[in-house]
Structures are given as structure tokens and as C-alpha cells.
Amino acid sequence: MSRLPGWLSRLGTGVARAGERLEERRARAEDADEPAPEPVAVRVSKSADEDEGSAGNGTVPAPPAYAPAIAAKADPVAAVPWSIRVAAEVGWRFLVLAGMLWVLMRVISSVQLVVFAFVGALLITALLQPTVARLMRLGLPRGLATAVTFISGFVIMGLVGWFVVWQVMENLDDLSNQVQRGIDELEKWLLDSPFHVTGDEINDIAKSLREAVGTNTEEITSAGLTGVTVMVEILTGILLAMFSTLFLLYDGKRIWHWTLKLFPAAARPGVAGAGPRAWRTLTAYVRGTVIVALIDAVFIGVGIYFLDVPMAVPLAVFIFLFAFIPLVGAVISGALAVVVALVTQGVFTALMALIVVLAVQQIEGHVLQPFILGRAVKVHPLAVVLSVAAGGMVAGIGGAVVAVPLVAVTNTVVGYLRTYARENALQQAAVASAPEPAPESAGEQVGDSR
């Protein structure tokens, strides 16, 4: 018992020294701004009693050595192949573009008359605007030059339309008689042909046609009423096109500057450079198409006139108008001239008319269009055919007329924007790689101040 106080004093002294050493270590850790590592107890092996005790204390026992290793699950994005991820990214962007295009087409179809009137006004303005510029260079004020060009242009177009209608009405009776004679001659030729067509079969075909016309009287009447509605819409579209053309001729630059403000500021320089180039392409297309159509109409009209084909002048005007539908219009107007020659003058005259039409169209396709249009409206023939077909399917004859200039303008705009983006990227790279100017020394600054 006498030794117990000494042992307790030594134990208290040891605990005090351990506390001092712990305080010193904690102070050194705080001075070094390093958190003190937490003690980690690793137990290599335990007995059953110790496992039960640790479970009672709330600690998680270590897994046994024979337990299989569980691999971490991969990221779902990394599990998808790269090609599928790229296809998905491209796919949803195409879906967004297709949806936007579908909405745009729905909006255009709901205001189709206004859209076609404005597009027609753009084409007419592209044809007449050089005349306004030429009159202004001669000294006329802009308002007077615009009025003179506008009135003369629409008067000429109105006279052409009136002349076509007048020629058709004047020669309609004669043409119907000649067509009837041509049908009789065709009937005789079929009877004498090696196709073994009998007169009863020809009469049955004619009877079926008469019955079809008689049973569809109501449909023909409704078609006539629809024709009246179409005429009203055509007149409305003509008036809209006239007013739009007048304001585009007089105030085109101000309208273009206002349109530029609708684009974001970052995209405005590129659009400002693409606009004039697109307008030059459209002007070149319209003027070149008018010249080519006029040459086709004159040469084919003169050829069928010397072949004594009736209504040669109205047919020439039709050839001029259909020439605004590339490729397809020339085929339709040429076929119309050949059919009229066949039913009125016979097979030989029809063959001669076909030769004239093919010769003029070959000269047009291989000589006139490359020389007159040049590279301003360089569009591949496949693109022309597909655009005309798509435009005709979407919006009829108007869509077929507008399709090719739209493709030509789009080609010009996309090409310019691509070049502009490349040059802009090169300029930014050159500015970024340029060395910074060296700072001026104090002596130079003092000398400059003096």
C-alpha cells in the first residue's frame, strides 16, 4: 500500500507529458497548415469474439480475403459508341431544321398569294432596276426615273398579254376547223395503219369521250367557278406585284438597310456583303433569261411561220413565257408547237417543226446560256431539274418559275458566307499569333514628352 501513491504519481506525470507532446504536435500541424492525419486502424485478423464486439460497437468489418472484387460501373455516355453519338447529334439537328422548314412552308402556303406577288415583284425589279440607274445617270431625278421605268415596263407587259389573247381569239375558229381536219386525217391514217384499228373502235373512243363530258357537267361548271376565283386571285396578285415593284424601285436601298437591322450584330457584316452579290446574281439571271427566251421565241416563231403553222405569233409568245421555266418550259412549248403543226399541217410539217425546235434549243443550251448567263448563275443541270420538279410539286407553275433563281441566289449566298467565314478565321488567327509590341523605355517616353 505504501507503493501505491508513488505509482499513481508516476502515472500522472506520464499522462501529463503525453498531453504536452500531443499539444506540441497539434501546434506544429496548425503552423504548417496541414490537417493532422486521422489514425487509421487496420485489423489483419480478428477472432469471433472481437467481430461480435466490433459489430456491437457499430464499426463495419473488413471484407474477407476471398470476396470477389466489384468493378465500378462505366459512365452511360462512354458506353455508347462514338459513331452512334455523332449520328444522334446530327439527327436531332436535322429534325430541328426539318421542323423549322415545315413550319415555314405552312406559313408560306397560308399566304401563298402574297409571297408569289412579292417574289414576282423582285424578279420584275431585277429586270427594271438597271433602267432606273441608267436614267438617273442621264440626269433624271429618282422619282421621275422610277415612274418612267415602272409605267413603260408594265405597259409593255400588258400589251404582250393583250396581243396573245387577241391572236388566240382571232384564230380560234380557224384553228378549231384545222384541228378537226387534222383529227379526220389522223383517223384515216389509223384505219390504214398496220395497227389494225377499226372504225368501230375509233367511234367507241369518241363516244366514251362524249359521255365523259356529259356526265361531268357539274364538275365542269364548278371548274368554271373555280376559274373565276383564280382570275380574281391573279388580278389581286398582279396589283400586289405592281405596288411592290414600285416601292422596290424607288426605295430599295432603304428597305435593304432596314432588313439588315433584323439580323444579329455579329452576323450583320456577312449578310451585308452577301446581299449585293445575291442581287447581282438575280439581276443577271433575269436579264439573261429574258434575252434567251426572246431569241428562242423569235427563231422558233419565224421557223413555224414559214412552215405555214397557224397561230405562229401566239405560239412564239408562249415559247417566250415558258422559257422562264428552265429545261421543262422549253420542252412543253416546243411540244405544243409540234402538236399544232401535226394536227393542222400533217406529219411532214410536224417533223420540220420538231427539227426547228430542237436546233434552236440545242443552240440555246450549249451557246446562248453559257455565254449570256456566264458564271453569275452557275447551277448544275441536275440541280435545275430537281429544283424545278420540287417547285412544281410544292407550288405549281409559280413554284417552278421561282425555283431556279432561288437556288442560284442561295448558291451565291452560301458560297460567299463560307469564304467570309474562312477569311475571318484567318484574320483572327493572324491577330492572335502576332507578337505584342515591346513597351517603350523611360528614356524614350521622356524624349517623346519633350
Model confidence at 435, pLDDT cuts 50, 70, 90, reads low
Q: How many other CB atoms are there within 10 angstroms of residue 288's CB atom?
A: 18
Cα 188 to Cα 202: distance, rounded to the nearest angstrom? 10
Provide mean pLDDT across the span 59-64.
58
| Mean of per-residue pLDDT scores for the chain | 74
Give tens-digit pLDDT for 385-415. Answer: 788 888 878 777 777 788 888 888 888 888 8
* Residue written as grid cell 411561220: 305
CA 101: distance to chain centroid? 9
Would the pLDDT of 212 be above 60? Answer: no
Would the pLDDT of 281 be above 50? Answer: yes
Give tens-digit pLDDT for 74-116. Answer: 677 777 788 888 888 889 899 999 999 889 888 887 888 888 8
Element (H, E) at 38: none
Contact (CB, 8 A) for 117 and 244: yes
Would the pLDDT of 156 be above 50? Answer: yes
CA 25: distance to chain centroid? 76
Would the pLDDT of 222 be above 60? Answer: no
pTM above 0.75, yes or no: no
Q: Around 11, how many Cα atoms within 13 Å sit in the side-chain half-sphere?
A: 6
Q: How would you class 412 by CB atoms within 10 Å of its CB: exposed for 0-12, middle for 13-18, buried for 19 or more?
A: buried
Provide mean pLDDT across the span 317-343.
80
The confidence score (pLDDT) of residue 12 equals: 65
Cα 375 to Cα 139: distance, rounded to the nearest angstrom? 33
Cα 402 to Cα 115: distance, rounded to the nearest angstrom? 11
Would the pLDDT of 134 be above 60? Answer: yes
Type of residue at 125? T
Provide mean pLDDT across the span 208-223.
49
Provide mean pLDDT across the span 116-126.
87
Give tens-digit pLDDT for 352-389. Answer: 888 988 888 888 777 766 676 665 567 777 777 788 88
